[in-house]
Amino acid sequence: MGDNYDVVIIGGGATGTGIVRDLAMRGLSCLLVEKEDLATGTSGRFHGLLHSGARYAVRDPHSAQECVQENRILKEIAANCLEDTGGYFIALKEDDPEYIRVWLEACRQVGVATEEISPSELLKQEPVLHKDVTKAYLVPDAAVDGFTLAAANALSAEKLGAKVKNYTRVVGFKREGQRITGVFLRNAITGQEWEVNCRLVINAAGAWAGQIGELAGVNLNIIPDKGVLIVFNHRITGKVLNRLRPPGDGDIFVPHGSVTIFGTTSRATHDPQDNQATREDVLQLLAEGRKMIPDLEEMRLIRAFAGVRPLYQASDQEGTGRQATRDFSLLDHEKLDGLNGFISVVGGKLTTYRLMAQAASDLAAQKLGNDKPCLTHLEPLANLGIERDKDKKHLCQCEMISKGMLEKAVKGKEQFSLSDIRRLTRLGMGPCQGTFCTYRAAGFYHELKNLTAQEGNKLLKEHVQERWKGARPVLWGGQAQEIEINRGIYLSLLNLDRLDSGDYV
């Protein structure tokens, strides 16, 4: 009954895809299942900052040290998924000068390279910054793309024979006494169900790890913590910008492709699916960000989104929100709960995903009697092969995406949405937020993939709706005008609302 694997990994975020790559490199047969598309959870819903470690140096030196190491490794093995922008930490007049001294010392201790830059030199390079910068330091921060990072890890594993299944939900576990022996799966689109057998299951479901634990009958104290981020339609600064003060809300700007991501907030939530930002969140962020960039409110916002941090607490005594550790935990449920064949890896952050994957894979390999060492830090990730080509006819002009790139992005995909394509290519992520390219991409794929009219309409409507979700909390200024143009095109000009698309939402 069903296929057999050594390991089934649950969760297609950075951690899960990191694990499947790690285990595949050790020669184990693996299946990764993800209920939506890769990196649709927290790995695709964060500021896109590859930490240098500087942010955590004072309060969480262990975590900071891990960041220092992983920052160096990822710049080597995942160069295609990141942009090595460098970063600044800037202190303003109102910030505590004593904290700067403590921070510098902590950075030195954990090994973060800092280099002082004079406020006048800084303002020459980044003229939008507030004139009252008192101190500024350069650190090796970078911008990282969580979507392509997860996809590249998954592809590396697939090249070694691993199976990666998106839109596949775990609906139950097969058990023999106190041992998990397999999983029951369901295709999230077709509803088709099947089962697979395995020797070990790794729960890497991030914010959803508690729900997976529940299915297996173990209790995990995951504290979902919501962080809101907003996106501006241009690169405000050339490098990552951090506020030099104890970590708080609204103190990180990350230049990403053609846009800037700014965040975050930290608020407890009950639902890992809670990824809607509100207007209040946005206004609060702007009020804070204005202190570093005075003209911030004049700049055009194009969307807001939220991600849920899967913070983990071993006991109820530890802190929540900003106080909770950014460290990760590896849970061996055989020892904790007497349940064999099931381990969870929880907490952590994207910068240290590889290290989390290594720890989980070490434990898995040991349990399965595999003595191969981890090699993930030595070999570069597989190339996704969707890089820019020579075609100068751009279907998405904001992000300069050609038909050829769209064709490569959909290769081997049976079921896909334009959002899946967007995550791989940045289609529709630029200033126009899909106003022009959504229609073009739907028309293009309709023909390429031999879709029915209804399927083409669904592709188009779903993506219009998805972009709308992000625009709603920022409906003012240029974005309010853009949305009116968008409605004019999709409703008046195309009459899309009257076209049949099945049940698209």
Partner 1 sequence: MYDVIVMGAGLAGLMAAAAAAELNKKVLVVAKGRGNLYSASGYIDFLGYYPTDCRQPLENVVEALEDMVNDNPQHPYALLGKEKVDQAFDFFLKIMNRAGYSYSGSWKKNRIYPTAAGALAPTSLVPQRSCLDLASYQEILVVGFREMLDFYPFYAADNLREQFYQQGEKKLIRAAWLDLGLSKERELNSYDLAVALEDEAVRFRLAEQLRVKVSENTLVILPAVLGIRKWARVQGDLERMLACTFLEIPTLPPSVTGMRLAESLMEYLEQRGVEFQLGYPVTGALQEGKKCTGIKIETASGRVQVKRAQSYVLATGGILGGGLKVKPGGITEEIFQIKIEMLQEMSNQDFFAPQGQPLSRTGIRVNGLLQPVGAQGEPLLTNVFAAGKNLTGYDPFVEKSGNGVALVSGCAAGWLAGKGAL
**55 Cβ contact list (under 8 Å, min separation 6):** 64, 242, 247, 252
| Cα separation, 33 vs 29, whole angstroms | 14
| Cα separation, 446 vs 203, whole angstroms | 37
**Binding test (CB under 8 A) with partner 1, winner from 115, 379, 493, 502:** 493
**Binding test (CB under 8 A) with partner 1, winner from 235, 300, 449, 472:** 472
| Cα separation, 213 vs 211, whole angstroms | 5
| Cα separation, 409 vs 448, whole angstroms | 12
User: Smallest distance from the beta carbon of 407 to partner 1, in angstroms?
Assistant: 14
- Taking CB under 8 A as the rule, does residue 498 contact partner 1? yes
User: Smallest distance from the beta carbon of 503 to partner 1, in angstroms?
Assistant: 12
User: Smallest distance from the beta carbon of 54 to partner 1, in angstroms?
Assistant: 32
* Piece of 158-166, 239-247, 404-412, 466-474 that binds partner 1 (CB under 8 A): 466-474
- Taking CB under 8 A as the rule, does residue 496 contact partner 1? yes
Question: Which is closer to partner 1, CB of 1 or CB of 505?
Answer: 505
* Piece of 1-9, 316-324, 362-370, 480-488 that binds partner 1 (CB under 8 A): 480-488
Instruction: Give the x-and-dash track for 44-83 against partner 1 (CB under 8 A).
Output: ----------------------------------------
User: Smallest distance from the beta carbon of 412 to partner 1, in angstroms?
Assistant: 23
User: Smallest distance from the beta carbon of 325 to partner 1, in angstroms?
Assistant: 35
* Piece of 4-12, 153-161, 190-198, 468-476 that binds partner 1 (CB under 8 A): 468-476
Contact criterion met (CB below 8 Å) for 261 and 287:
no
DSSP-assigned states of every residue in 129-191: S-TTEEEEEEE--EEE-HHHHHHHHHHHHHHTT-EEESSEEEEEEEEETTEEEEEEEEETTT-
| Cα separation, 212 vs 32, whole angstroms | 14
| H helical segments located in 272-380 | 279-289, 333-337, 353-367
Question: Which is closer to partner 1, CB of 382 or CB of 460?
Answer: 460
- Burial bucket for residue 38 (CB in 10 Å: 0-12, 13-18, 19+): buried
Question: Which is closer to partner 1, CB of 100 or CB of 475?
Answer: 475
User: Smallest distance from the beta carbon of 461 to partner 1, in angstroms?
Assistant: 7
- Taking CB under 8 A as the rule, does residue 465 contact partner 1? yes
CA dihedral angle for residue 344, residue 347, residue 349, residue 355, rounded to 10 degrees: -40
Contact criterion met (CB below 8 Å) for 180 and 190:
no
Instruction: Give the x-and-dash track for 328-367 against partner 1 (CB under 8 A).
Output: ----------------------------------------
**Binding test (CB under 8 A) with partner 1, winner from 392, 411, 412, 503:** 392
| Cα separation, 33 vs 440, whole angstroms | 31
User: Smallest distance from the beta carbon of 37 to partner 1, in angstroms?
Assistant: 21
3-state secondary structure of 116: strand
Question: Which is closer to partner 1, CB of 335 or CB of 393?
Answer: 393
| Cα separation, 24 vs 293, whole angstroms | 46
| Cα separation, 200 vs 179, whole angstroms | 9
- Taking CB under 8 A as the rule, does residue 394 contact partner 1? yes
Instruction: Give the x-and-dash track for 283-322 against partner 1 (CB under 8 A).
Output: x--x----------x-------------------------
- Taking CB under 8 A as the rule, does residue 279 contact partner 1? yes
Could you tell me how many residues of this chain bind partner 1 (CB under 8 A)? 53
* Piece of 127-135, 198-206, 332-340, 476-484 that binds partner 1 (CB under 8 A): 476-484
Question: Which is closer to partner 1, CB of 2 or CB of 478?
Answer: 478
**Binding test (CB under 8 A) with partner 1, winner from 243, 349, 354, 461:** 461
CB atoms < 10 A from the CB of 404, how many? 15
**198 Cβ contact list (under 8 Å, min separation 6):** 4, 5, 6, 7, 8, 31, 180, 181, 182, 183, 341
Query: Burial letters for 181-203: b for 16+ Cβ neighbours within 10 Å, e otherwise?
Result: bbbbbbeeeeeeeeebebbbbbb
According to CB under 8 A, which residues from 406 to 445 bind partner 1?
436, 439-440, 442-444
User: How do beta strands 115-116 and 252-256 pair?
Assistant: unpaired
Residues that bind partner 1 (CB under 8 A): 279, 282-283, 286, 297, 392-395, 397, 436, 439-440, 442-444, 446-447, 452-454, 456-457, 460-461, 464-465, 468-469, 472, 475-477, 480-481, 483-485, 487-500, 505
